[in-house]
């Protein structure tokens, strides 16, 4: 019994913001941003657009591709660090928006690695018989956590959502292996300086970029090797790697460390920037819809985020 991918989908806010437009209000430039990150644009949520509405739209897109209706879903796991409310979970809001009267629904919070955590949890629950079909969603409105006067961080992030429909069935396709990690000793390298039980405010994102970069390259290379071994694969078996879209230089360094050809790495950071938990499913959906990733391909998903958390999944699409 495996969790097979029945459909994928994504959603973006209406407003696209280029580097040049950002430079009108932030002390930066297109050349400065592109040279350091590879980012050329991002999408920013506007009035009426929230984490839950983006998640709903991505879910509907995935359901349409799967040929299913919302009431076919028995489990919703939504990865986000930017929920609509402190509680209840944004997953229950999505459930209500989709018109599902009763199903298991909850949020997972592991920042940029959130989607890998959500995927692993949903896979385990499907294989244990908790549900037959699941929506696994990564959705963020990170723009609402940014300090727009800090040019080192505000240029890096964007908003969006991506979703997968998983179905439990006997198959050679589906999720082959997952591996997750966390190390809370590095909290002060990437965090938000607020919260209900400390400051009573939402807070703003803070990051020590150079240190995060160093940890990311080491941790991602190790977990990719780990998940390949768990799935009985070698780098030569991999058709595509879909990484967390944090920074083009991290993507290049990780692929070099593993000896993976650059052309096998899906890159969307130039169009979407870092969308945290949404970045992996958003990039996955983009590559499926443009024809790069095809049925039967071996795909590796990987991410690292604040915490630190990091993880990877191997699957046969």
Residues of the chain with CATH 3.40.47.10: 2-171, 175-316
Active site residue: 19, 219, 247, 274, which one? 274
Phi/psi region, residue 174 (left: phi>0; alpha: psi -120 to 50; beta: rest), is left
SS3 13: coil
Instruction: Please indicate whether residue 187 is annotated as part of the active site.
Output: no
Phi and psi (nearest 5°) for 96?
A: -65, -40
Pairing of strands 298-305, 133-141: unpaired
Instruction: Please indicate whether residue 244 is annotated as part of the active site.
Output: yes
CATH superfamily of 2-171: Thiolase/Chalcone synthase (3.40.47.10)
Q: What per-residue confidence (pLDDT) applies to 99?
A: 98
Active site residue: 103, 112, 154, 219, which one? 112
Dist CA 172 CA 103 (whole Å): 27
Dist CA 55 CA 74 (whole Å): 16
For residue 88, cis peptide bond before it (omega within 30 degrees of 0): yes
Q: What per-residue confidence (pLDDT) applies to 256?
A: 84
Block residue for tokens 């690695």? 113
- Return all residues near 252 (Cβ < 8 A) that are at least 6 apart: 262
Dist CA 250 CA 37 (whole Å): 9
Dist CA 273 CA 155 (whole Å): 8
CATH superfamily of 175-316: Thiolase/Chalcone synthase (3.40.47.10)
**Which structure tokens are listed for 286?**
């983009």
Instruction: Please indicate whether residue 219 is annotated as part of the active site.
Output: no
For the residues of 229-245, what is the DSSP string, one character each?
HHHT--GGG-SEEEE--
Beta carbons of 119 and 313 less than 8 angstroms apart: yes
What's 73's DSSP letter?
-
Q: Residue 271 to residues 37, 126, 156, 268, 302: CA-CA distances in angstroms?
A: 12, 33, 11, 6, 19
Active site residue: 219, 244, 247, 272, which one? 244
Dist CA 41 CA 158 (whole Å): 9
pLDDT, one tens digit for every residue, the chain (317 residues):
999 999 999 999 999 999 999 999 999 999 999 999 999 999 999 999 999 999 999 999 999 999 999 999 999 999 999 999 999 999 999 999 999 999 999 999 999 999 999 999 999 999 999 999 999 999 999 999 999 999 999 999 999 999 999 999 999 999 999 999 999 999 999 999 999 999 999 999 999 988 998 999 899 999 999 999 999 999 999 999 999 999 888 888 888 877 888 899 999 999 999 999 999 999 999 999 999 999 999 999 999 999 999 999 999 99
């Amino acid at each position: 019994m495996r969790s097979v991918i029945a459909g994928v989908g994504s959603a973006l806010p209406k407003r696209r913001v280029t580097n040049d437009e950002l430079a009108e209000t932030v002390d930066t430039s297109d050349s400065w941003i592109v040279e350091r990150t590879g980012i050329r644009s991002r999408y920013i949520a506007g009035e009426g657009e929230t984490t839950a509405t983006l998640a709903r739209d991505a879910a509907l897109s995935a359901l349409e591709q799967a040929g299913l209706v919302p009431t076919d879903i028995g489990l919703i796991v939504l990865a986000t660090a930017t929920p609509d409310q402190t509680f209840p979970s944004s997953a229950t809001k999505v459930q209500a928006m989709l018109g599902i009267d009763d199903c298991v629904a909850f949020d997972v919070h592991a920042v940029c690695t959130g989607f890998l955590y959500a995927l692993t949890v949903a896979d385990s629950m499907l294989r244990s018989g908790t549900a037959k079909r699941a929506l696994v969603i990564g959705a963020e409105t990170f723009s609402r956590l940014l300090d727009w006067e800090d040019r080192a961080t505000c240029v890096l992030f964007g908003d969006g959502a991506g979703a997968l429909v998983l179905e439990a069935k006997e198959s050679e396709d589906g999720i082959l292996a997952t591996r997750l990690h966390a190390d809370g000793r590095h909290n002060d390298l990437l965090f938000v300086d607020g919260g209900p039980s400390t400051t009573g405010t939402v807070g703003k994102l803070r990051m020590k970029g150079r240190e995060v970069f160093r940890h990311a390259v080491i941790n991602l290379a190790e977990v990719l090797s780990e998940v390949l071994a768990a799935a009985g694969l070698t780098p030569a078996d991999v058709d595509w790697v879909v990484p967390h879209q944090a920074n083009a230089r991290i993507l290049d360094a990780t692929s070099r460390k593993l000896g993976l050809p650059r052309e096998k790495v899906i890159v969307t950071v130039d169009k979407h920037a870092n969308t945290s938990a949404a970045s992996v499913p958003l990039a996955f959906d983009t590559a499926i819809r443009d024809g790069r990733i095809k049925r039967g391909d071996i795909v590796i998903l990987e991410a690292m985020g604040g915490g630190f958390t990091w993880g990877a999944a191997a699957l046969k699409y």
